[in-house]
Structure 1
Amino acid sequence: MSSATREDTGYYDYWPYEGRPRIVWPNGARLAFWVAPNIEFYELDPPANPQRAPWPQPYPAVAGYSIRDYGNRVGHMRQMALLDKYGIRGSISLSAALCEHHPEIIAMCRERDWEFFSHGIYNTRYTYGMSEAEERAMILDSIETIERHTGRRPAGYLAPALSHSPVTLDLFAELGGIYSCDLFHDDQPTPLRVRGGQRMISLPYSLEMNDTIAYVVNKIAPRQYGRNIRDCFDRLYAEGERSGTVMCVPTHNYQVSCPHRLKAFEESLDYITSHPDVWVATGREIAEYYLEHYHDAALADIARIQKGGAHGARR
């Protein structure tokens, strides 16, 4: 795709929610639920990037660095115990550098058969300003590092600190990836158009349910965050009776796992997992199931919509 004068991302077509081929998740589930713990590594003094400063305060950014260190030292253990309690296997958005900085965390996640997908190498090194060759090398390094330390090549990608280039998803698809978390345009998986023609999908990964957005950007209280999660679930669960939906709660071990915030998150997990017809899965499991059972029908329906110029109402 050319980076000049674009009207949209170019990765997907308009495809109205109403009238799509029906999705039914395994065992008749109406909603696929996954939790994506972001387990990241932040450098205290990373290489400068002219397009984005890693810290809002001058070096040394001790406060910002240390709360993130708290997440890996304390918060991760707290969140892992909670997910264990509710039978949820995390799908880790992983800064690949963590494999070498904190291999003990990787080992604990492997013991639980958690999924690992790529979130770049460091969350303080951005895609902005990279050449295509440099970005490809960074993505490949993250993929190979995760595979070397976990025994499995990652299937998904979330750009480090949500930093993208016009070819980010193309590169990940060319390196064998099957799903992206970088697009926030739908509540169901959707096929993506990448330059190499690989089969790749966008998997719903919610910014609105992301604990960092909730606490840092929207500045809401823990109780309200828990209520938002339950309200989101109620709507997607109701709509999932007609066609299966996906709900993701992205977390950060230095946010949701703080002592005063964990209770609201636990109450939300208890509420969601108490419902029937919920498929508690990993990102890879949802992506693979969709690719096997619904991807081709989705492409055919999108082609029909585009050919007819239809603009159906959203439900």
Structure 2
Amino acid sequence: MQSDPGFYEYWPYHQRPRLTWPNGARVAFWVAPNIEFYELNPPANPHRKAWPQPSPAVPGYSIRDYGNRVGHMRQMALLNKYGVRGSISLSTALCEHHPEIIELCQERNWEFFSHGIYNTRYTYGMSAEQERSMIRDSMETIYRHTGQKCAGYLAPALSHSEDTLDLFAEVGTELFGDDGGFYTCDLFHDDQPTPINLRSGKRFVSVPYSLEMNDTIAYVVNKVEPRRYGQMLKENFDRLYQEGAESGTVMCIPTHNYQVSCPHRMRAFEEALEYITGHSDVWVTTGREIAEYYLQHFYDTARADIEHKNASAKWEATCQ
């Protein structure tokens, strides 16, 4: 019986080789706006309902439409103010439904990574070939509309399969060589990037993407108030900043334009952004840039350290 996903080894946080970010930054900080498209009446999936209420789910659909009509513009202006380029977790159907949003993000040099095609169509129940086709479609759509070679992936509505990471890396290589399909946001196991094991052996990395700092988890699941959410963001940063003096850490704020961009929630988010970007030794960056930097400068060292520690642990076990 498999005891863990098998994508990575146990690797103690406090005993790793030192990680350093550009210009001596303690924290690599990125914001991942989830810009999604939800269908009013999507195809049924026996493993998960798209909406909790019977069709037509007008309330759920329309608040998400509010996000793309109003919330996105509000959030984009705020991120611009603090010099943050978004790394968009994109429902790629948005390229056809709202190309004007894509154009605005392109003008600001934001990153686009794949979040599937629709956030109402899940990986659950797909065959490997069906999932491969969906991933390929999403990556080709991003490239066709933006010219970007998609580097990262977050499964639609977090509907991950056992094959997702392997398929994403393989399709990325087929389409774009080493420039495509080399990081994931689907694993929530660390505060630093980590090497990931794939069947292809491709150099592939997990970039920290926080569920705890995710605005939907905060507001909908944990039901915190906006002021408390803003304080959580600052406290999360403070701890990572403190630890980053010893070895670089990553902080991600995943947002949704129908959550954090509601008028009564914007001040708390702005105060957190002002606080975080007000520190000079913070690398304000994107998911792709974090992955690229780690792959270039630390991936091989990390692999060697993991292998050494695993070999030592096995040797100690045989000697007992």
TM range (shorter): over 0.9
1:206 alignment partner, one of 206, 210, 215? 210
CA distance in 1, matches of 2:261, 2:146: 24
1:215-226 equivalences under 5 Å are 215-226=219-230
Q: After the TM superposition, which parts of structure 1 deviate over 3 Å for at least 4 consecutive aligned residues? A: none
Per the alignment, residue 69 of structure 1 pairs with 65
CA distance in 1, matches of 2:121, 2:35: 15
Per the alignment, residue 313 of structure 1 pairs with none
1:262 alignment partner, one of 248, 260, 266? 266
Per the alignment, residue 104 of structure 1 pairs with 100
CA distance in 2, matches of 1:236, 1:154: 28
CA distance in 1, matches of 2:118, 2:202: 27
Q: Is 1:249 equivalent to 2:253 in the alignment? A: yes
Per the alignment, residue 136 of structure 1 pairs with 132
2:118 alignment partner, one of 107, 119, 122? 122
Whichever residue aligns with residue 95 of structure 1, its letter is S
Q: Is 1:234 equivalent to 2:238 in the alignment? A: yes
Whichever residue aligns with residue 51 of structure 1, its letter is H
SS of structure 2 residue aligned to 1:309: helix
CA distance in 2, matches of 1:111, 1:118: 19
Residue 97 (structure 1) shift: 0.1
Residue 276 (structure 1) shift: 1.7
CA distance in 2, matches of 1:24, 1:201: 16
Count of matched residue positions in the alignment of Structure 1 and Structure 2: 306
Percentage of matched positions with identical amino acids:
74
1:14-93 equivalences under 5 Å are 14-93=10-89
Per the alignment, residue 285 of structure 1 pairs with 289
Q: Which segments of 5 or more consecutive residues in structure 1 lack a partner in the other structure?
A: 311-315
CA distance in 2, matches of 1:196, 1:285: 23
Q: Which segments of 5 or more consecutive residues in structure 2 lack a partner in the other structure?
A: 173-180, 315-320
CA distance in 2, matches of 1:99, 1:222: 31
Whichever residue aligns with residue 188 of structure 1, its letter is Q
Per the alignment, residue 148 of structure 1 pairs with 144
CA distance in 2, matches of 1:309, 1:184: 25
CA distance in 2, matches of 1:100, 1:32: 32
Residue 22 (structure 1) shift: 0.6
CA distance in 1, matches of 2:226, 2:23: 33
| TM-score for both structures, normalised by structure 1 | 0.96
CA distance in 1, matches of 2:2, 2:270: 43
SS of structure 1 residue aligned to 2:261: coil
Residue 18 (structure 1) shift: 1.1
Whichever residue aligns with residue 4 of structure 2, its letter is D
Residue 6 (structure 1) shift: 1.5
Q: Deviations over 1:122-180 (max 9, x none)?
A: 00000000000000000000000001000011100000000011100000111221100
CA distance in 2, matches of 1:46, 1:309: 50
Q: Deviations over 1:216-246 (max 9, x none)?
A: 0000000000000000000000000000000
SS of structure 1 residue aligned to 2:264: coil
Whichever residue aligns with residue 222 of structure 1, its letter is P
Residue 10 (structure 1) shift: 0.4
